[in-house]
Each structure stands twice: as structure tokens, then as C-alpha cells.
Amino acid sequence: MFSRIKTMTSRSHGEGGFSLIEVLVSVVILGVLATSSLYLTIGGLDSSESQRRTNVAVTLAGSAMESVVARPTSVNGSTGLSAIYDGRSHAATLAHWDINDEIPGFDRMNPAWDTHAGGATVATVPFSETIRVNGTDYTVETMIGQCFQPTAGGHCTTDDLGSASVELTRVITVVWWFAGSSCETGTGCSYHTSTLIDTTPDVEWIAN
């Protein structure tokens, strides 16, 4: 009788406990799950932060573009250029051109400047400016040049076709930033947008 009770008791203890191997396996599984969850959380936060920075860049590019479009399109004195070129000297324009010559669309416009602007003149529309938003520095580059739109259709390019083309102003705005795991390299991240502006004088209607 005693032997039977002892056997049942031993079995009861064996079935109710955990071996050291089972405990170690459980710890390893929990560690793997926790690590995976941590990577997913960090990845999600990084993706969210990256999207936030992109949204800021889009906003800054749009704001810079609006500041150009809002400028008067009337002819600026004897320069034959729109007032959006005010303060953009020859030397500063060419220097800015050399820095940004690899930007898409840049090869489709000719440099243009305010012929009355000197070396100390400040451009009304800045060539470049750095804006800090939520701890991240964004560099906003604004290029303004001339291109010729064929009257028969096609892209606005650097080729002047005379009466077969219309002179337009091309504006390209690029925003650069170097923050975030995917943007900390030498190339950084960028967002760019462009538009065409017709700065030629409107046709005067003669009413009799």
C-alpha cells in the first residue's frame, strides 16, 4: 500500500513541474519574439519619421515655388526679364548653375539673371536657404532659367526656334536633407518640383 502511494506521488510531481531544458527553450523563444518585435517597432518608427521628413520637404518646396510664382511677371526695366530675377547677378547665377547641373530638367533651360544686379545684390528669391524643422536641416535650392516651348508642341528646351517657339521661364525647386537611416549617406535625400511660367506681356486688346 505504501509503495503504491509513493509511486503515485512521484508521478504527480513529475507531471506538474518543468525541466531545465524546457525553461531554457521558453526563454530563447521569448527572446526571439521580443527581438523581432523590437526590430518591427524600430522599423515602423523609422518609416514614420522618414515619411514625416518627406512631407516637410514637399511643403517647403511648395512654399518656395509659390514665392516665385507670386512675383510680378511684368518686364523688369530694360532687362527683358520678369521681376522674379530681381537681385540675381550674373556671377551668382552661373555659380549656382554649376552646383546643381545634375538635377533632372536642369539641362532644359538656359541661365538667366538680372543685368542690373551686382556682386553685393541680394536676390529677392534666394538661390539657396537652410530651414530647420523639428531638429532637421533642409536646404532649399531654387533655380530660375529660360526655355523655349515649340508652338507645334513638345518639351520646353534650350533651343530657340524663333517665331516657331515661345519663351517661357522654368522654375525648379529642390529640397535636400541628411537625416534618417536612409538619408545620412553622402547623397542624402531630396524632393524636387518644377513649373513653367509665361512672363511675356499679355496681348493688348484695342477697343474702338
Would strands 136-150 and 165-177 be described as parallel, antiparallel, or unpaired?
A: antiparallel
Please compute the mean of the pLDDT values over residues 153-181 and round it to a whole number.
Answer: 90
Cell 532659367, residue?
Answer: 145
Question: Of 1-5, 26-30, 140-144, where does mean pLDDT reach its minimum?
Answer: 1-5
Tens of pLDDT, residues 70-124: 887 655 443 445 688 889 999 999 998 888 777 878 888 999 998 888 777 888 8
d(CA 165, CA 109): 14
DSSP letter (8 states) at residue 125? S
Phi, psi at 78, each rounded to 5°? -95, 5
Cα(34)–Cα(27) distance, integer angstroms: 10
Q: Which of 30-34, 99-103, 139-143, 160-164 has the lowest mean pLDDT?
A: 30-34
Cβ contacts of 162 within 8 Å, gap of 6 or more: none
| DSSP-assigned letter for residue 131 | E
DSSP 3-state of 108: helix
pLDDT of residue 11 exceeding 60: no
Q: Is the model's pLDDT at 157 over the cut of 80?
A: yes
Residue tagged 518543468 (cell numbers): 18
C-alpha grid cell, residue 106: 536642369
From the list 142, 143, 157, the residue with the least C-alpha distance to 109 is: 157
State residue 202 phi and psi, 5-degree precision: -70, 150
Instruction: State the pLDDT confidence band at 23, using cuts at 50, 70 and 90.
Output: confident
Rounded CA-CA distance 192/144 in Å is 13
Q: Which amino acid is at 164?
A: A
**Phi-psi domain of 78 (left: phi exceeds 0; alpha: psi -120 through 50; beta: other):** alpha
CA–CA gap between residue 69 and residue 59 (Å, rounded): 15
173: its cell numbers: 525647386
